[in-house]
Each structure stands twice: as C-alpha cells, then as structure tokens.
Amino acid sequence: MQQGDSEPATKPYSGLVNRIESDMPRMSKGQKAIARFILSDYERAAYMTAAKIGEQTGVSESTVVRFTMELGYEGYPHFQKMLQEELKEKLTYLQRLNASKRYVGDAQVLKSIMQTDIDNLKQTLELVDTDAFSRAVQMILDARKIYLIGVRSSSPLSSFMHFYFTLLFDDVRHIHTSSANEVFEQVLPIGPGDLIIGISFPRYSSRTIQSIKYARQRGAHVLAITDKPDSPLADNADAALYARSEMASFVDSLTAPLSVINALIVAVGIHRREHIEQTFEALENLWDEYKVYDKGKDRITRIPESELESTV
C-alpha cells in the first residue's frame, strides 16, 4: 500500500482483500509490492495485465501469476475476473470513469465496448437455464396483475418490457419514480396471484430490492432479472433469469439483459398469440387512421406498370 500496511479506506471486495491482508506477513518482498499496489489502486489494477502490474511493482509477470495462485485462484485471469466482478458493485460512477483511463483513443473504445457486449451475450447464452426461463414464462402467463420495477440504469429495461407487456396483458403496472415513497405507494396494492418483475444490476437498487421483499411478504410471486445467483434480487425471488452485465467505464452494459428480456417477451407472446393478433389488428387500423407511422408514400415515386413493362 502507499500508506504503509494500513487498511485502505474502501474495500472493493472484502473476501479478496481479507485474503491478501491475512497472507501478507507470509509473502515475499515482491508479492508484498503486488499486494500493496492492488489494494491502493484497485480500480486501475483490475483492468491491467499481469505484465503491466509487474512493471508497476518491479517484479516479473510470472511472480504476479504465482501471487494470485497462492491466494487460491486458478490463475491471474480468474483473480482479475473476481476483482472486476466485485468492483462493479462497489465503485462510484467517478471511480468507474477513472477506470476508463485504460482506453487509448476512440477506436479502442469502440472495439473494446462492442467486444465486451459480444462476450456478455456469449457468456449469458452459455449459462442460460432453460428450465428457469420456462418457469418465468409460466409465472407471467399465470399472473393476475403484473408489476414491473427497474430504476436508475435499469429503467430503460423495465420501460421496454412495459411497452410490449401492455400489448400482451390488460393489467400491467410500471413502477417508475425517483421518490422512494411513491415507489411503495405504487406497489402497495400487490397481493396473492400478482407478479412483480424486478430488474437490477450492479450497483443494485435498494428500492427494487425493498419492493420485491415487500411483494413477497404480501404473497405475490417474484421474478428477478439480474446478473448472478448471489444477487440480492435473486435471494428474494421465486425464479430468476441471469444476464452478464460487465462494467464498461461509467456505463452499464445492458446488451445481454435486453436480449434475455427480448426472448422473454417473444416466448410469452407466442403463448398469447390469439390475444395479440386481435390487439395488433385493432392497433394497425388506429395507427393508419392517425398516421402514427410514416409509410413513405410521399417519399417514394411509384412507376406505373406500363412503364415497367416497356423497360423490360
């Protein structure tokens, strides 16, 4: 550490930090240098290669790798992944912004962020629980009334879900407000036979967690859409769907969560096909009457069939 061996003011990952600190008396001089660097600048260290950490601490890359393995991790990638996983739950937005200093130039930002989204989708697909997905679909279909809650960075996900669910069901409530009191006022009537769908990713929203806890106490069912089984949302859910949401600087990556939600909407829609066919037929007539969508009639010049034949 930069301040002697004293404990840093903020612990990014208590298990990892405690392990490092408890093992420090037995570490070699080089390993202690690595430990101090990680504990004093963890938001930067989490995104550095083993070679870069070695350069910063004056040790070899192999020493960094052995350091992580002696802590009980499978290797440096495993150690780094665990640190990044917990950092995204703890870091403030300013600290996340500081972590983005690893990017050099706009082109690297573009490629890195898109690759992160691709990796999130691949990992989500590999880990998806199809049985849990089917249970989630059935819970939605069986619900008397559906409540949706996703606040802060998760609010676009709940809004997207609400837009389509209002086409599929007659009674859908979207809980969205910046006031804690208003959140609980909106969820107050929930009860047996109802379903609340809570959406949150690190850093987890306390309002969402409190709302689904209250809903469960009232006898409602709870479906969580979050990032991992030990998420506080999953702890209070009857069923949970998981999607990777790796931190991308100060922006949360919502590509994989949105893909899971897309799949959920489509699956439910297939079961509600007859209902939505009638809904869409009525809506299309209404949209045409009020010109909701631009069909391009004024922009496309149609060529008469006689002229088309003459060009053949």
DSSP 163-186: HHHHHH-S-EEEE--S-HHHHHHH
pLDDT of residue 86: 65
Q: What is the pLDDT of residues 81-132, one digit of tens each?
A: 888 776 665 655 545 555 555 556 788 778 878 888 898 899 899 989 999 9
**Which of 7-16, 72-81, 86-95, 275-284 holds the top average pLDDT?**
72-81
Q: What is the pLDDT of residues 232-270, one digit of tens each?
A: 999 889 999 999 887 655 677 899 999 999 999 999 999
| Dihedral angle of Cα 271, 255, 235, 211, to the nearest 10 degrees | -80
Q: Over 50: is that where the pLDDT of 312 sits?
A: no
Q: What is the pLDDT of residues 10-45, one digit of tens each?
A: 344 446 767 787 888 888 999 999 988 887 777 677
Fold for the domain defined by 125-289: Rossmann fold (3.40.50)
Give residues with Cβ within 8 angstroms of 280, minimum separation 6.
167
- Which residues belong to CATH 1.10.10.10 in the chain? 14-97
| Mean pLDDT (whole number) for 72-78 | 89
pLDDT of residue 263: 97
pLDDT of residue 131: 96
Q: Over 80: is that where the pLDDT of 293 sits?
A: no
| Mean pLDDT (whole number) for 271-300 | 72
Residue 198 has what DSSP assignment?
E
Whole-number average pLDDT of the chain? 81
The order of strands in the sheet holding 221-226 is: 172-175, 146-149, 195-199, 221-226, 239-242
- Which residues belong to CATH 3.40.50.10490 in the chain? 125-289
CATH architecture of 14-97: Orthogonal Bundle (1.10)
Q: What is the pLDDT of residues 181-227, one digit of tens each?
A: 778 889 999 999 999 999 998 878 889 999 999 999 999 999 999 98
Q: What is the pLDDT of residues 124-180, one digit of tens each?
A: 999 899 999 999 999 999 999 999 999 888 999 999 999 999 999 999 999 977 666
Compute the distance between CA of residue 68 and CA of residue 34 in angstroms, rounded to an integer.
Answer: 10
pTM: 0.66
pLDDT of residue 19: 79
SS3 225: strand
